[in-house]
Amino acid sequence: MENLTQQKSIATRLFIVSIAIWAGFWAYMAFLYEGDAESNMWAPVAGLFEGFVYGGVFAILPAIYSFFALKGDNKRSLRLAVIFNLSALWIICVCLLFVAGT
């Protein structure tokens, strides 16, 4: 049981790092980005999407980790399932943004 608790903790921390990457890119673009007046006006919006994409790319790690943690030894954990589903949804949204942008 301790192994499952440790796996939940690792998956949660990986997902929190993904969210922190999103927030970090947004904060950088919103508050620290220096450019001309027009690009400064749109910097928070650009940072929101840029952080979403970079965080979504990093969200591959918690998705993979929670998938294999759930698959191994037929474990059942609601937290691991939620982290897997949220990470997979985030990755799918990033892929759809990429497809829509091309």
| 58 contacts 94 by C-beta, under 8 angstroms | no
pTM equals 0.85
Q: Which domain holds residue 95?
A: 2-101
Residue partners of 4: CB distance under 8 A and separation at least 6: 69, 75, 77
List the pLDDT tens digit at each of the 102 positions of the chain: 568 889 999 999 999 999 999 999 998 888 887 777 676 788 888 888 889 999 999 999 999 999 999 887 677 889 999 999 999 999 999 999 889 877
Q: What are phi and psi of 34, to 5 degrees?
A: -120, 125
In this predicted structure, what is the pLDDT of residue 11?
94
Domain count across the chain: 1
What is the predicted pLDDT for the residue at 37? Answer: 66
